[in-house]
Amino acid sequence: MLRVAEHYTGTDTGLQRRANEDSLLARSPLFVVADGMGGAQAGEVASRIAVESFRGGLGDAASPEERLAENALAANARIHELSQRNAEQAGMGTTLTAVYVGAEEVAIAHVGDSRAYCLREGELLRLTDDHSLVDELIREGRLTPEEAEEHPQRSIITRALGPEETVEVDTRSFRARAGDVYLLCSDGLTSMVPEARLAEILLAHRRLREAGEALIAEANRAGGRDNITVILLRVERVELGAAAAAPEEDRHATLTGVPLGGERGRAEGVGVRAELEGAALALAQRPPAVVPRRPRRGAPQAPQRRRRRMRRWASLLGLLTVLGVLLAGAYIASQSVYFIATNDRGLVTMFQGFPYELPGGIKLYSSYYVSGVSASSLSARHRATLSNHTLETEAKAGSLMRSIELEQLSE
């Protein structure tokens, strides 16, 4: 079965935007990127609602594609309803690209011009089609990819969550392979960096964090005209119960170094075991060659030494058990508390765990949700709430995040 072995998330305002309207969610095996539109107080809200619709995961869905589409449609309904109620958020919307890593396949749901790619055996494969004006013209043969890069209407998207009461969600599934690297990103990356360059950067960095940081830096070097959001994940295959399922004769052959399979292999195995058994019998019939010697005067007897060693091992085992219980308790406790602070990019972030770092750079917390709100855009009072690092429940921390993003905290 498949599992996510490593992942990276990063988002950046870019060089020409004052606010970040992108949102992301990374709760393995589910990953989501949303790129809001409609202005700072509308696009951020729309993208936030989109990723929130996936926060509960997919459960034990028989069809991940259907569940992804259902969540996307629920997000569309919420965004559209809110835009109809509030004049300042009228017409807001967001793109969406969601990826779910199942036992054998990767399922994708997609609306808009955010993208998903797969890096496999050195080749970068695009998994989504942009719902944009220029991409539709390319598919119709009326525009070349080179012409699309400079087209004055290249930013116009033809499908998004929110603007309309209903929306069509593209879904598809792909057979995954161990070692595949999947890239989810907003168009702030792909509008700045050609696909050939994306592949070069991914191939040049083994660690996903280094690759993700390099992608964001490359987009900014190219001009950083839009917000840039990147999610990278690498999948691996885990075989469960393979050793237990091996036939008995195969396990013996593996242990003794006899080739597996075939009549010749089994015959050689029998011959080797017969020779080993004959040698063992001959050795057992030989008289002992060891001459007993008198123990040194004053030296402790063997039973006493064994008892002391056993006491030392018992004490050590007891200590390790206590430490294990304490560490397990601390870990369980850390999974139930959250705090709000800023990440290394200055974005308001919801962290899971305790706000401490041990010697050696060991952090007792991890990033749980990265918003599109920059701490520099908050008032002094609001920034003070970020420095308190007050431990909260998931519900209360999430409520505070929503209040910050919706700018509903009182002055």
C-alpha span between 101 and 108 (Å, rounded) = 9
* Proportion of the chain above pLDDT 90, given as a percent: 45
SS3 assignment, position 159? coil
Contact, 385 vs 24, CB < 8 A? no
Strands 347-358 and 115-120: what pairing?
unpaired
Instruction: Give residues with Cβ within 8 angstroms of 34, minimum separation 6.
Output: 22, 23, 24, 46, 47, 48, 50, 51, 94, 95, 96, 97, 114, 161
Contact, 201 vs 215, CB < 8 A? yes
C-alpha span between 152 and 140 (Å, rounded) = 18
**What is the CATH T-level fold of the domain 2-240, as seen in this structure?**
Phosphatase 2c; domain 1 (3.60.40)
pLDDT tens for 67-78 read 999 999 999 999
Structure tokens at 225: 């005209």
Average pLDDT over residues 36-58: 89
Question: What pLDDT is stored for residue 3 in this prediction?
Answer: 94
Q: Decide if pLDDT at 373 tops 50.
A: yes
pLDDT band at 130 (very low <50, low <70, confident <90, very high): very high
C-alpha span between 133 and 142 (Å, rounded) = 11
* Proportion of the chain above pLDDT 70, given as a percent: 75
pTM exceeds 0.75, yes or no: no
Q: Which of 49-53, 158-162, 221-225, 315-319 has the lowest mean pLDDT?
A: 315-319
Please name the amino acid found at residue 233.
L
Higher pLDDT residue, 160 or 274?
A: 160
Question: What pLDDT is stored for residue 309 in this prediction?
Answer: 75
DSSP secondary structure code for residue 364 in this structure: E
Structure tokens at 361: 């750079």
C-alpha span between 394 and 403 (Å, rounded) = 14
C-alpha span between 214 and 8 (Å, rounded) = 12
Structure tokens at 313: 């091992």
Question: What pLDDT is stored for residue 144 in this prediction?
Answer: 78
Higher pLDDT residue, 15 or 332?
A: 15
Comparing CA positions, the residue from 26, 15, 25, 22 lying closest to residue 44 is 22
pLDDT tens for 99-111 read 999 999 999 999 9
For the chain, the domains span 2-240, 308-411
C-alpha span between 132 and 140 (Å, rounded) = 12
Q: What is the residue whose two structure tokens read 């991409």?
A: 135
Average pLDDT over residues 113-119: 97
SS3 assignment, position 128? coil
Average pLDDT over residues 192-218: 96
User: To the nearest whole number, what is the mean pLDDT of the chain?
Assistant: 79
pLDDT band at 290 (very low <50, low <70, confident <90, very high): very low
Question: What pLDDT is stored for residue 104 in this prediction?
Answer: 92
